[in-house]
Chain A
Amino acid sequence: MTTTDPQPSTTPDRQAAGETLIELVELTKMFPGEPQPAVDRLSLSVGRGEIVVLVGPSGCGKTTSMELINRLIEPTSGHIILDGEDVTEGNPDELRRRIGYVIQETGLLPHRTIAQNIATVPKLVGWGKGRVSERVDELLGMMGMDPDTYRSRYPKELSGGQRQRVGVARAMAADPPVMLMDEPFGAIDPITRERLQNEFLRLQQQIQKTIIFVTHDIDEAIKMGDKIAVLRDQSHIAQFDTPENILTNPADDYVADFIGAGASLKRLNLSRIRDLEVTADAPIGSLDEEPAELLRRLGASDWSAMLLLDAKRRPSRWVTMGDLRRGGDLSRVGLEARALVEPHATLSDALNELITSNGGCAIVVAADGAYQGIVDLETIMAAVRTMREQHSAFYLAQKTSHGVGHDSRQDEGR
Chain B
Amino acid sequence: MTFFDYLTNSYDNLFELSLEHIRLVLISMGIAIVAGVPLGVTAHRLKFTRAPILSITSFFLTLPSLALFAIFIPIFGLGAPPAIAGLTLYALLPITANTLAGLTSVDPSIVKASRGMGMGSYSRLMRVEMPLAWPVIIAGIRVSTQVVVGIAAIAALVGGPGLGQEIFRGIRSVPNANAPNLVYGGTLAVVVLALLFDAAFVLIRRLTTSRGIR
Q: Contact residues of A with B, CB < 8 Å?
A: 70, 72, 92-97, 101, 103-113, 120-121, 124, 154-156, 170, 180
- Give 6 A-B contacts (CB < 8 Å), ordered by A residue: A95-B118, A105-B113, A107-B114, A120-B117, A154-B210, A170-B117
Of residues 98 to 138 in B, which have CB atoms within 8 Å of A's CB atoms?
Answer: 107, 109-110, 112-120, 123, 128, 131-132
Instruction: Name the contact of A111 in the complex, choosing from B117, B123, B210 (C-beta under 8 A).
Output: B210
Rounded to whole Å, the gap between the CB of A4 and the closest CB of chain B is 40
Q: Could you say which residues of chain A place their CB within 8 Å of the CB of B46?
A: none
CB of B120 within 8 A of CB of A70, answer: no
CB of B212 within 8 A of CB of A156, answer: yes
Q: Could you say which residues of chain A place their CB within 8 Å of the CB of B212?
A: 110-113, 154-156
Rounded to whole Å, the gap between the CB of A32 and the closest CB of chain B is 15
CB of A110 within 8 A of CB of B113, answer: no
CB of B113 within 8 A of CB of A101, answer: yes
CB of A110 within 8 A of CB of B213, answer: yes
Rounded to whole Å, the gap between the CB of B191 and the closest CB of chain A is 35
Given contacts A111-B132, A111-B210, A156-B212, contact A94 B112 (CB under 8 A): no
Q: Contact residues of B with A, CB < 8 Å?
A: 107, 109-110, 112-120, 123, 128, 131-132, 210-213
Instruction: Name the contact of A93 in the complex, choosing from B110, B113, B120 (C-beta under 8 A).
Output: B120
Question: Given the complex of chains A and B, what is the CA–CA distance between A109 and B119 in angstroms?
Answer: 13
Instruction: Name the contact of B211 in the complex, choosing from A101, A103, A107, A154 (C-beta under 8 A).
Output: A154
Q: Could you say which residues of chain B place their CB within 8 Å of the CB of A72?
A: 112, 115-116
Question: Given the complex of chains A and B, what is the CA–CA distance between A110 and B118 in angstroms?
Answer: 18
CB of A96 within 8 A of CB of B115, answer: yes
Q: Which of A104, A110, A154, A180 has the most CB of B within 10 A?
A: A110
CB of B109 within 8 A of CB of A107, answer: yes
CB of B116 within 8 A of CB of A109, answer: no
CB of A96 within 8 A of CB of B109, answer: no
Given contacts A107-B112, A109-B110, A109-B128, contact A97 B213 (CB under 8 A): no
Question: What would 6 more interface pairs be, CB under 8 Å, given A70-B116, A109-B128, A121-B117?
Answer: A97-B117, A108-B110, A120-B117, A124-B118, A154-B210, A155-B212
Rounded to whole Å, the gap between the CB of A401 and the closest CB of chain B is 45
CB of A110 within 8 A of CB of B110, answer: yes
Question: Given the complex of chains A and B, what is the CA–CA distance between A70 and B117 in angstroms?
Answer: 9
Question: Given the complex of chains A and B, what is the CA–CA distance between A93 and B115 in angstroms?
Answer: 8
Identify the closest chain B residue to A125 (Cβ): B118
Rounded to whole Å, the gap between the CB of A236 and the closest CB of chain B is 25
Identify the closest chain B residue to A105 (Cβ): B109
CB of A103 within 8 A of CB of B115, answer: no
Given contacts A105-B109, A107-B109, A111-B212, contact A124 B115 (CB under 8 A): no
Q: Could you say which residues of chain A place their CB within 8 Å of the CB of B131?
A: 111
CB of B116 within 8 A of CB of A93, answer: no
Rounded to whole Å, the gap between the CB of A173 and the closest CB of chain B is 9
Q: Could you say which residues of chain A place their CB within 8 Å of the CB of B113?
A: 101, 103, 105-108
Q: Could you say which residues of chain B place their CB within 8 Å of the CB of A121?
A: 117-118
Q: Could you say which residues of chain B place their CB within 8 Å of the CB of A95?
A: 118
CB of B112 within 8 A of CB of A110, answer: no
Rounded to whole Å, the gap between the CB of B11 and the closest CB of chain A is 44
CB of B119 within 8 A of CB of A93, answer: yes
